[in-house]
């Protein structure tokens, strides 16, 4: 047996039979098993047992009476119970189409990856199965924020929020995983630098039942993200906070000298843009400089972006002062806070992104190592 398909379920009974039928159709002739890790409060376990009895391939069930750590905890339990070295994780609602499984297996067969991600956002993929424009927007924004917090480990992954992936269980340190809620792939990729491959897939409409996405799950995701990446973002916040204080101090001092507040804000912004870049360069992103090109190129991107941001922020500052008659320094503080996340995302994903040539060279070296090992 070379493949275990792990399906975490929560009240997905109406989807079980169709899911197994479609898995069997695309993997006919392959030695595999399906492992349901079930947290249901309805009759889903009974449906799985009945389907297992009629299945031509092995189907196992672990029903957790006291679920721990949500879907991510269920997948971790599945990894521990799996009989095969490669584990494929997919949802039980058929939004992850079984017809995409052969593409994942084919990519893994190249031998140069530890994990293959089925991506909605790679070329050829779609996210049409998301319920509405709001969920689509939230998904894209969450993906951008996540990638900005882990720019090195997620450099080769366009969809770290997906729950559809194939992984070499031997590449994981299961004891180091501490999943919270839905986003088990993020937990896996953030804990260890893995060789990532991707294949596109079309996120389908739910076959039956109701979505489990909720505001509570959103909070759990933010908690997970903060716990995984508190270090870099907190350092960025520290630099940003220091820069904001300096910005406000310069602006206040110039205004005391009689400089008009908009001019004072422009001067303060230019001084702190340069100072903040140097602090980011040598404190926050020091470990990423070698892979992200020349310092002057990073400075140019940072300087141009921050000036573009200032060209938007300072008119907003003017509007706040003129429309609400609040203190100019208070208005400046509010606009600086609003700009924080946008700046962080841009610097992590653009300014300090690994160069394409660096990633390509690493991938080529990995392929050469695979070929040499095969020849030996």
Rounded Cα gap, residues 51 and 37, in angstroms: 15
Residue 180 has pLDDT above 70, yes or no: no
Question: How many whole angstroms separate alpha carbon 141 and alpha carbon 137?
Answer: 6
Q: pLDDT tens for residues 19-77? A: 999 999 999 889 999 999 999 999 999 999 999 999 999 999 999 988 887 888 999 99
Q: Is pTM beyond 0.85 here?
A: no
pLDDT in tens, 139-148: 777 788 778 7
List, in order of start, the domains of the chain with CATH numbers: 3-213 (3.90.550.10), 230-358 (no CATH)
Which residue, among 118, 113, 126, has the nearest Cα to 170 in the 3D structure? 113
Q: What are 245-295's pLDDT values in tens digits?
A: 898 999 999 999 999 988 998 899 899 989 989 988 887 777 678 788 889
Q: How many CB atoms lie within 10 A of CB 303?
A: 15
Q: How many other CB atoms are there within 10 angstroms of residue 214's CB atom?
A: 11
| Rg (the chain; Cα; Å) | 25
Length of the chain: 376
Please state, for a pLDDT cut of 90, what percent of the chain lies above it.
41
Rank 317-331, 332-346, 359-373 by mean pLDDT and report only the highest: 317-331
Say how far apart CA 30 and CA 85 lie, in whole Å.
14
- State yes or no: pLDDT of 367 exceeds 50: no
């Amino acid at each position: 047996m070379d493949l275990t398909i792990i399906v975490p379920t929560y009240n997905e009974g109406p989807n079980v039979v169709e899911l197994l039928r479609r898995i069997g159709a695309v993997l006919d002739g392959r030695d595999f098993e399906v492992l349901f890790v079930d947290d249901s409060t309805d009759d889903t376990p009974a449906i799985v047992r009945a389907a297992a009895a009629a299945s031509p391939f092995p189907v196992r069930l672990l029903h957790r009476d006291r679920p721990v750590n949500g879907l991510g905890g269920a997948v971790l339990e599945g990894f521990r119970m799996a009989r095969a070295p490669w584990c494929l994780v997919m949802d039980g609602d058929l939004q992850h189409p079984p017809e995409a499984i052969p593409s994942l297996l084919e990519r893994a067969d190249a031998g140069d990856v530890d994990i293959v991600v089925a991506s909605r956002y790679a070329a050829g993929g779609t996210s049409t199965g998301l319920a509405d424009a709001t969920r689509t927007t939230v998904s894209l924004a969450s993906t951008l924020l996540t990638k900005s917090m882990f720019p090195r480990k997620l450099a080769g992954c366009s969809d770290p929020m997906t729950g559809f992936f194939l992984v070499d269980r031997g590449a994981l340190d299961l004891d180091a995983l501490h999943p919270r809620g839905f986003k088990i792939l993020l937990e896996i990729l953030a804990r260890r630098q893995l060789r990532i491959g991707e294949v596109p897939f079309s996120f389908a409409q739910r076959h039956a039942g109701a979505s489990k996405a909720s505001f509570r799950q959103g909070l759990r995701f933010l908690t997970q993200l903060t716990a995984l990446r508190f270090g870099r973002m907190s350092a960025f916040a520290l630099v940003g906070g220091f820069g904001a204080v300096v910005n406000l101090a310069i602006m206040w001092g110039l205004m005391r000298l009689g400089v008009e507040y908009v001019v004072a804000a422009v001067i303060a912004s230019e001084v702190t843009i340069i100072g903040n870049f140097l602090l980011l360069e040598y404190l926050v992103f020091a470990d990423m400089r070698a892979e992200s090109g020349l310092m002057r190129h990073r400075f140019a991107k940072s300087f141009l972006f921050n000036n573009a941001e200032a060209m938007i922020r300072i008119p907003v500052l003017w509007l706040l002062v003129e429309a609400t008659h609040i203190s100019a320094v208070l208005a400046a503080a509010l606009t600086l806070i609003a700009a924080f996340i946008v700046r962080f995302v841009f610097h992590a994903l653009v300014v300090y992104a690994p160069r394409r040539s660096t990633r390509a060279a690493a991938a080529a070296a990995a392929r050469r190592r695979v070929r040499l090992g095969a020849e030996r």
